Amino acid sequence: MTQYIADELMTVAAARALSNNDVCFVGIGAPSAACNLARLTHAPDITLIYESGTIGTAPEVLPLSIGDGELCDTAVTTVPVPEMFRYWLQGGRITVGFLGAAQLDRFGNINTTVVGDYHAPKVRLPGGGGAPEIASSCQQIFITMKQARRSFVRQIDFFTSFGHGRGGPHRQELGITTAGPTLLITDKAVWRPDPETKEFTVMSLHPGVTQADMADTVGWDIRYGADVEETPPPTTEELEVLRALKARTAAAHVKEVA
């Protein structure tokens, strides 16, 4: 079996969750790698949309930002940002939104605004951008991020993007009709929300990861599914495609800097 690192398995597991028919709102970083890996392997007809207004993009290299010219060059079309949000996103046309977080709680609520008190924060973060609208308007949300106690917290310091709120039917009580976070993929496990409580529950552990490893990186009492499986490792093809994509990206960005 080809050797791999935890980041590669996280990207592969996220890519596998996408289907050929998805219309996906892509974030920069790990979500972009996962979505493009899916496009280059089992989901060649997936529609990738970036916040800058590019629709049906098929980049040869991973973009540095949503404004990267690579996205426009390879898109089927590019529309104004207001049209992207009002017609495509709020119109319910996007099946999956990918998000990351600085802080995440057990109900999938996301903080990307401040760490600490809002008026006297320890850290001022980039903010929400389009994430709050993505979280409420995409048909479902996938979250990808590394596990650490400082980011997997019992209570987030600020609600930037609404997940399942207090849990249970809270999302529906507020009139939000989309499913919200349905999948959390980390460098250690695959999580899904409990159907009733909406608390994230571990469904599979990555090879070599123990429950002790999990407890060391999460700030709440972890729930495990009735039959926790082992996440299938990356295939040789998945690793080759992912590594080639990242190699092209690194080479392109070196040229840009030069």
CA dihedral sign of residues 77, 160, 133, 11: positive
Residue type (1 letter), 32: S
Expressed in angstroms, the distance from the first to the final Cα of the chain is 37
* CA separation for the pair 234, 4 (Å, rounded): 8
* Chain centroid to CA 87: 22
Residues 6 or more apart in contact with residue 146 via CB below 8 angstroms: 10, 186, 187
CB 165 within 8 A of CB 174: yes
CB 20 within 8 A of CB 43: yes
Question: Judging by DSSP bridges, how do beta strands 114-117 and 77-78 pair with one another?
Answer: unpaired
Map tokens 């529609």 to a residue.
47
51 is catalytic: yes
Question: Judging by DSSP bridges, how do beta strands 200-205 and 189-193 pair with one another?
Answer: antiparallel
* CA separation for the pair 100, 60 (Å, rounded): 23
Considering the candidates 8, 51, 70, 199, report the single residue annotated as catalytic: 51
Say how many CA atoms lie within 13 Å of 183 toward its Cβ: 19
**Enclosing H/E stretch for 94:** none
Map tokens 């989901």 to a residue.
43
**Catalytic center residues:** 51
